[in-house]
Amino acid sequence: MGFIGGPGETQIEVDRRLISERITKLSRELDKVRKTRESHREGRRKTPFPIIAFVGYTNAGKSTLFNRITQATVFAQDLLFATLDPTMRGVDLPNGKRVIFSDTVGFISDLPTHLVAAFRATLEEVLAADVIVHVRDISHPETEQQKRDVIQVLEELGISDTQRESMIEVHNKIDLLSEEERREIVNIAKRRKDAIALSATTGEGCEELLELIGKQLAAEWRQRALVLAADESAVVAWLHRHADVQSLNYDKDGNAHLKISIAPEEEARLEKMRTSATASAS
């Protein structure tokens, strides 16, 4: 009959059984990922680097773009759930700032009910991100509907207003467009401050994406002038690692005069560090 099944099984029954086994296997894998997410997130809360999360509809090219930018080897194939466990890699942006890139599982619509909870648990990684990069397959005929599906899931996850405002939209796969379509998409992206048109396959536009990520991060940073005492050299070293030190001069007493740009969360850590040092000294 052209198939192998148990006694009395019809082709439909065999297909249903195989699908059920596949779903069960995916459920187990997703559950395993879900159980490790929180411990991983807790560790990353201690990292000094901003987190950049790639999100997007399945097969939008997230893993290909991740590979291109990080020079990593991540399974990038046209398969559903090709990326189940988010992969993290450190990258230095053109402005010298080090960030952590995270590649997440692809979004799909009409997910089976019993997979929804585990699937979304893997996406909670996005909530820890400083910048969300929404990768779209701009060549797909249903790219606008896919965008709506992704945004809906992000909103249901509860992304913050800050994350929403700093989100970057990547119009990927411009290499699959006609020359006329490509020019139109590139021009549309150029008129926006939060979008970039590129090809993860050829690399076109990827450097510009890194520059845009740097600008989005810098837009949230605060400018400060500091005077640190001679015995606060450890704080000066910390600032070089966790902030953008724009100028540094020492006076005759050894005090450090700095102008810095610093992220709000790092500024809070700086104040806590200096308060603790003052309390210890007294």
**SS3 assignment, position 134:** strand
Q: Which of 106, 103, 151, 91 is nearest to 129 (CA)?
A: 103
Residue 57 identity:
Y
Specify the pLDDT at position 137. Answer: 97
Lateral strand order in the sheet of 244-250: 222-228, 256-262, 244-250
Pairing verdict, β 244-250 and 51-56: unpaired
Q: Are 174 and 198 in contact (CB under 8 A)?
A: yes
**Which one has a higher pLDDT value, 262 or 54?**
54
**Can you tell me which residue has the tokens 């119009």?**
171
Mean pLDDT of the chain, nearest integer: 82
Task: Give me the pLDDT at residue 2, please.
Answer: 47
Q: Classify domain 222-281 by CATH number.
A: 3.30.70
pLDDT of 44-74, one tens digit each?
A: 455 667 889 999 998 999 999 999 999 865 5
Q: What's the rounded Cα separation, in Å, for the pair 279 and 282?
A: 5
pLDDT band for 276, please (50, 70, 90 cuts).
confident
State residue 1's pLDDT score: 44
Segments making up each domain of the chain, as ranges:
11-40+47-219, 222-281
How far, in Å, CA of 230 to CA of 270, rounded?
Answer: 17
Kindly state the average pLDDT of the residues 213-226.
86
Q: Any residues with CB less than 8 A from the CB of 26 and at least 6 apart, and which?
A: 81, 115
**pLDDT number for residue 111:** 65
| Locus of tokens 């048109």 | 197
Which H or E run includes 256?
strand 256-262
Greater pLDDT, 22 or 228: 228
pLDDT tens digits, one per residue of 240-255: 888 888 899 999 999 9
Q: How confident is the model at residue 144 (pLDDT cuts 50, 70, 90)?
A: very high
Q: What is the pLDDT of residue 89?
A: 87
Contact 235, 228 (CB under 8 A): yes
Tell me the percentage of the chain whose pLDDT exceeds 90: 40
Give domain 11-40+47-219's CATH superfamily.
Answer: P-loop containing nucleotide triphosphate hydrolases (3.40.50.300)
End-to-end CA distance of the chain: 86
Tens-digit pLDDT profile for residues 162-190: 788 889 999 999 999 999 999 999 999 99
Q: Once rounded to an integer, what is the mean pLDDT over residues 30-57?
A: 67
* Contacting residues for 7 by C-beta, under 8 A, at least 6 apart: none
CB atoms within 10 A of CB 10: 11
Q: Which of 79-88, 100-109, 118-127, 130-139 has the highest mean pLDDT?
A: 130-139
The pLDDT value given to residue 47: 61
* Structure confidence at residue 3 (pLDDT): 45
Handedness of CA 52, 208, 162, 109 (dihedral sign): negative
What values do phi and psi take at 100, rounded to 5? -110, 125
